[in-house]
A = this chain, B = another copy of it.
């Protein structure tokens, strides 16, 4: 291979390590004896030392090595709830927080509780992050897909939800919950507030649990969109804890922090009655508790340094630097894809992904079939072989029949993006030349060559 492998897939952390403030606090909590030593002030900022003290005070016996309550350390949950309340402008309670080893175990926990048999269905977007299909399969339920509409920027239309629910019910499936990923993975869209209201209304009317994957809440790259949690939307519509069962998933793996190796996260669980809450707690307690470092980090992302803290300015510089760099990377990749023959790409409004569509020539589709591969998998493999660039075929996420895509992250270092783009372009142009259905001379000027099934 001529190149070293560059992954446009999420195998690399967002930054090489924690933001410096979090890094220091965790380091102190791991080795609390440091807090009593004067030399420590030479190595750690005063607010990191202060925060470590505060955190240790919240942990019974100051024992970061002990099991915690199965929902997580109460003081850390309260801190997270305060962060949620500040974000949303509505009350949140630490009693509703379940700290978990990243968002994935929280999703599994809810699937385990919701799915009784293959007659129970969970509505999930297509394309979707395959955690959902995997978890539903593992727990023996039915995956009920709804399609995001690529033509309107991967919009989530309530008519489509209704159609799919009715169809599932006609097959004897009890649809129990709706999964919404906002901002979207792998599709990168940010839902509009009006759209979210309709989704809440739909769940209320249909008696569905709303499972809101909100792990990309800090990753917004466009001026005209903002993140609104589904809980905020529901409360702003006047719905209380009695009206709508709602679970919001959050993770330390995304945002500007990107600390996926720490396995921290939480779910905020509202709108369930006491009996069901008891069952959620029982399932949480089977694995005793989530790791305490992840719990601490979850509290730090929901309560970052504030104005006046020693680390505030450097924290904001790091944070804004990362988010604005991600926005520039997203824009550069999106523009590059849209400049190419046979590729169209929606705007990356949020999350960490682009999901460009490949309008593959019929000849390429034929070559893929001959090779026994899905057309987009064939394309991705050829790309990898020619350039060392890794993308994930759309067929891994699900897509409308007859369409082909790939997911690429916006995570490579910003200074490497131009070189990646030029390698990608070179490959793509050669690929299109190799498989063009008609020769350049014969093709009408300016037309895009599209694959069948559009």
Contacts and interface: CB of A to CB of B under 8 A. Distances in A.
Interface of A: 10-13, 15-18, 20, 23-24, 26-28, 30-34, 37, 39-40, 42-43, 61-68, 101-102, 104-105, 108, 112, 131, 134-135, 138, 140, 253, 258-263, 283, 286-294
19 contacts: A10-B67, A11-B67, A12-B61, A18-B30, A18-B31, A20-B33, A23-B31, A26-B31, A27-B28, A27-B30, A65-B260, A101-B101, A101-B287, A104-B288, A138-B283, A140-B140, A261-B289, A262-B291, A291-B291
A93 B13 CA distance: 28
Contact of A291 (B11, B108, B263, B287): B263
A261 B66 contact: yes
A43 B32 contact: no
A46 to B, nearest CB: 15
A67 B27 contact: no
Contacts of A11: 66-67
Given A12-B66, A13-B61, A16-B65, 15 more contacts: A13-B63, A13-B65, A13-B66, A18-B30, A23-B33, A39-B42, A65-B258, A65-B259, A65-B262, A68-B261, A104-B287, A105-B287, A135-B286, A260-B288, A263-B292
A183 to B, nearest CB: 19
Contacts of A34: 27, 43
A64 B261 CA distance: 6
Contact of A17 (B64, B101, B289, B293): B64
Contacts of A289: 261, 263
Given A104-B287, A288-B104, A63 B12 contact: yes
Contact of A24 (B15, B31, B131, B138): B31
B291 A101 contact: yes
A263 B290 contact: yes
A262 B26 CA distance: 12
| Residue among A37, A135, A263, A289 having the largest count of chain B Cβ atoms under 10 Å | A263
A43 to B, nearest CB: 5
Contact of A65 (B15, B33, B39, B42): B15
A121 B344 CA distance: 53
Contact of A286 (B66, B104, B258): B104
A105 B104 CA distance: 13
Contacts of A294: 291
A291 to B, nearest CB: 4
| Residue among A23, A108, A261 having the largest count of chain B Cβ atoms under 10 Å | A261
Nearest to A257: B65
A221 to B, nearest CB: 22
A63 B261 contact: yes
Nearest to A13: B66
A157 to B, nearest CB: 30
B30 A26 contact: yes
Contacts of A65: 13, 15-18, 258-262
A336 B301 CA distance: 49
Contacts of A253: 67
B16 A263 contact: no
A102 B287 contact: yes
A286 B130 CA distance: 9
A261 B72 CA distance: 10
Given A61-B13, A131-B286, A261 B18 contact: no
A33 B288 CA distance: 33
Contacts of A12: 61, 63, 66
A176 B283 CA distance: 24
A363 B156 CA distance: 67
Contacts of A10: 67
Contacts of A15: 65
